[in-house]
Amino acid sequence: MVTEFHNNLSNFIKSKDLMGANNLIMRELGKSLVHNKSEFVDLLNYSGIPADASMSDLTLVNKYMDNIHANEKLLIGSAFLVNKNNKVAGFDGKSEVSDQAVKRSVHVLHNYFDGTMIAKADPNEKFYSSASLDKNHSNIAGLGTAITSLLGKGAELGGGIVAGKNKEKFGAMDMATKKQEAKHQMVQQVLAQRQAESEAKKKEIEAKGKKTKIALIIGGSLLGLIIIGTIIYFVKTKKK
């Protein structure tokens, strides 16, 4: 069973919408940065980019954008991380990283950031079936073998996926403009996820506050009843 991410990625590739596909991946990376910052930091460090979890979201995004166009490990690691967070159900019913989706994600990122755009390229070309991926790696710390195997296929990454009707317009975009769009997508997703976290935390605090208030009311009522009962007891005792 595929996820919404895989359905959307497949649709963008079929329509040869390179920007749409890349924006989708950038938003997924934004989610990863918020929900599992350590993995995003590991990705940067593995790619030779010094980073640590104490850095702000924006600092990490900037480090990513400063290097994505010229760092093959970062590019392939990004594709792996996004798909690791969107596993599919295998034939045995267990969740696994989709080999094909990783390769397609690599293809999208490579063509978006290296400027090579060939509209006629078929998204199901030889690269998708020939590149290998080590399935044994379940987390970003195990990217080594997976990235090494895919790096060997670098020569086959030249094919592009660009919507024919948008090729002339998009082809004119320089790297700075493309990075600005990619960064916008990632930052907007980070902000959206942080806002969602903040609202969830607020609701949690409000819920705890209500429980505490109810407990105090009940406790106060019980204490009041105990006091009243005690007074009545002593009044009756004195009358005897």
Distance separating alpha carbons of residues 85 and 34, to the nearest angstrom: 12
Distance separating alpha carbons of residues 146 and 103, to the nearest angstrom: 11
The token pair at 93 is 């019913």
Query: For residue range 147-197, what is the model confidence (pLDDT) as tens digits?
Result: 555 544 443 443 444 444 344 444 446 888 899 999 999 999 999 988 888
Residue whose C-alpha is closest to residue 106's, from 139, 136, 143: 143
CA atoms within 13 A on the CB side of 234: 5
pTM score: 0.66
The pLDDT assigned to 119 comes to 31
Query: For residue range 230-240, what is the model confidence (pLDDT) as tens digits?
Result: 766 666 666 55
Contacts for 105 with CB less than 8 Å, ≥ 6 apart: 9, 25, 78, 79, 82, 83
Torsion of CA 167, 9, 125, 150, to 10 degrees: 110
* Residue 8 pLDDT exceeds 80: yes
107 near 157, Cβ under 8 Å? yes
Residue 131 or residue 216, greater confidence: 216
